[in-house]
Amino acid sequence: MTCRFCRVKISRQIFILLIGFLFAINTFSQEITDTIGKPTQFAQDSLEARQQFIRDSLLARELFVRDSIQRRQRRLDSLIFMQKELQVLLEAYQRTVKDDIFLHDYEIKIIGDSILSDYSYLILPFSITQPFTPWRVRLSLNRNSVKIAIDKQIQRITSIQAPFIKCSFTWGNSGNILIMHERGVVQKNGWGQFYTIPVDSVFFDRFNRIVKIKKYVRVYTLSGGNGQGVPLFLNLTQVKQYEYGPDHQVTQCQVVRFCERWKTHETNKVCSIITYTFSVQNNALMLTRRNDPANSYSDGTYTYEFDDHDVLKSISFHNLANTENWQRTIELNKDGYVHCYFDKVNGVVQQSICMIYHMNDPNAKYQVETVTTTFEKNGISYYQKNNTTGQSRTRDRMTLEWTPWK
């Protein structure tokens, strides 16, 4: 017979065990939930950290790119400013200080976003014997020796110091007069010792074309060996005046030169007046020179023949007295430099001047050698002279063989 008391006791124990088991399950379940939740939170924190790092990196990259663009724009703005200023100043300087007939210049270009191209211009030479391309002058603007000073307040270049120019600049209040101050020099002559400073005035019209150039020299006493002393007088030395056609090209240039003056009481006297007139026929440009008073021996017409790329092919001159009528034709080498000049008088070749270039030879004594060859009336040459080394050679009239250079 089963004991009721015993059954109740067993049931109560089972109930207690059941309650304990359920509590243990609940506790274990909570621990599992907590354990699973911790890695989930860690992963969430790690994701947010990576996203923040990406946002910071993108922001830093954006700032870097923005600063880079701004630096590049400032550099480009600076180059554009230099390009415009140098175009005007260098043309004014070359027209003023050089005696060459300045025909036109070429636009200074911006290469990439960091440097300027060379400044180059075309001249009309009266005679040429030089190598390379002497009718086209090139000046490098990117050498370390080129120093340019800028007044940022007025946004103007105030000086350029380079192997090809040493000059300071100021502009008149109207903006159409440029004053150029060159470096002073010591001059010693029969009148004494002086310190002189060239000062030039360049006048522009409303189209920014040069219409007049007045060259002066400020004369001082010499002080302290080679120093600037007391001012003596201001001497006008030259006046150039330009006229232009409807196409804005120069049609006439008049050059008035004044005599030297070394005494304070002396007055300016005109020494010469030359007027150059320009005209064009196809690829030929005619430059007519007239002296005042007239001189039929030096007065005449130069004819320059260019190709479509401004390469000079020939020069000829015919004076009014008919005592000069010559032509010099030009032959180029594969590099585009002068190979030979051929001189013709009344249509007959009389001599040639040829160039031997050694630019790619580091052991060469001379960069360029020039050789003059003379021709007989029959067109055969029997004599050559190397103008660089001073050596010469002759040709046998029977065998036509050349002797060694000596």
Residue 287's alpha-carbon distances to 19, 124, 280, 290, 309, in angstroms, are 124, 9, 9, 10, 20
Can you give the pLDDT at residue 48? 76
Range 319-345 average pLDDT: 95
Query: Total domain count for the chain?
Result: 2
Nearest alpha carbon to residue 301 among 135, 124, 170:
124
**What are the tens digits of pLDDT across the range 80-123?**
999 999 999 999 999 999 999 999 999 999 998 789 999 999 99
Q: Judge whether 393 and 402 are in contact, CB under 8 Å.
A: yes
The pLDDT > 70 percentage for the chain reads: 88
Range 353-369 average pLDDT: 94
* DSSP assignment letter at 126: S
Q: Which of 119, 144, 171 lies at the terminal end of a domain, its last residue? A: 171
Name the pLDDT band for 6 (thresholds 50, 70, 90): very low
**What are the tens digits of pLDDT across the range 63-83?**
766 766 677 778 888 899 999
Instruction: Tell whether the model's pLDDT for residue 41 goes beyond 70.
Output: no
Nearest alpha carbon to residue 191 among 224, 238, 235:
235
Q: Which of 144, 171, 198 lies at the terminal end of a domain, its last residue? A: 171
Instruction: Tell whether the model's pLDDT for residue 360 goes beyond 60.
Output: yes
User: Which domain range does residue 375 map to?
Assistant: 324-406
Can you give the pLDDT at residue 26? 56
The answer to whether residue 221 sits within a structural domain is no
Can you give the pLDDT at residue 2? 43
Name the pLDDT band for 5 (thresholds 50, 70, 90): very low
**What are the tens digits of pLDDT across the range 193-246?**
999 999 999 999 999 999 999 999 999 999 987 899 999 999 999 999 999 999
Instruction: Tell whether the model's pLDDT for residue 136 goes beyond 70.
Output: yes
| Dist CA 326 CA 316 (whole Å) | 6
Instruction: Tell whether the model's pLDDT for residue 37 goes beyond 90.
Output: no
Instruction: Give, for 385, the enclosing helix (H) or strand (E).
Output: strand 381-386
The answer to whether residue 178 sits within a structural domain is no
Range 350-360 average pLDDT: 95
The answer to whether residue 176 sits within a structural domain is no
Can you give the pLDDT at residue 14? 52
Name the pLDDT band for 7 (thresholds 50, 70, 90): very low
Name the pLDDT band for 380 (thresholds 50, 70, 90): very high
Lowest mean pLDDT among 69-78, 178-187, 367-376: 69-78
The answer to whether residue 265 sits within a structural domain is no
What DSSP assignment string belongs to 316-368? Answer: EEEETTSS-EEEEEEEE-TTSSEEEEEEEETTEEEEEEEEEE-TT-TT-S-SE
Range 376-397 average pLDDT: 94
The answer to whether residue 220 sits within a structural domain is no
The answer to whether residue 62 sits within a structural domain is yes
Can you give the pLDDT at residue 345? 87
φ, ψ dihedrals at 143, nearest 5°: -80, 155
The answer to whether residue 283 sits within a structural domain is no
pTM of the model: 0.80
Can you give the pLDDT at residue 174? 83
**Residue 223 DSSP SS3:** strand
| Dist CA 150 CA 158 (whole Å) | 6
The answer to whether residue 226 sits within a structural domain is no
| Dist CA 246 CA 248 (whole Å) | 5
Name the pLDDT band for 16 (thresholds 50, 70, 90): low
Instruction: Give, for 23, the enclosing helix (H) or strand (E).
Output: helix 4-97
* DSSP assignment letter at 178: E
The mean pLDDT of the chain is 88
Q: Which of 146, 171, 196 lies at the terminal end of a domain, its last residue? A: 171
Can you give the pLDDT at residue 52? 74
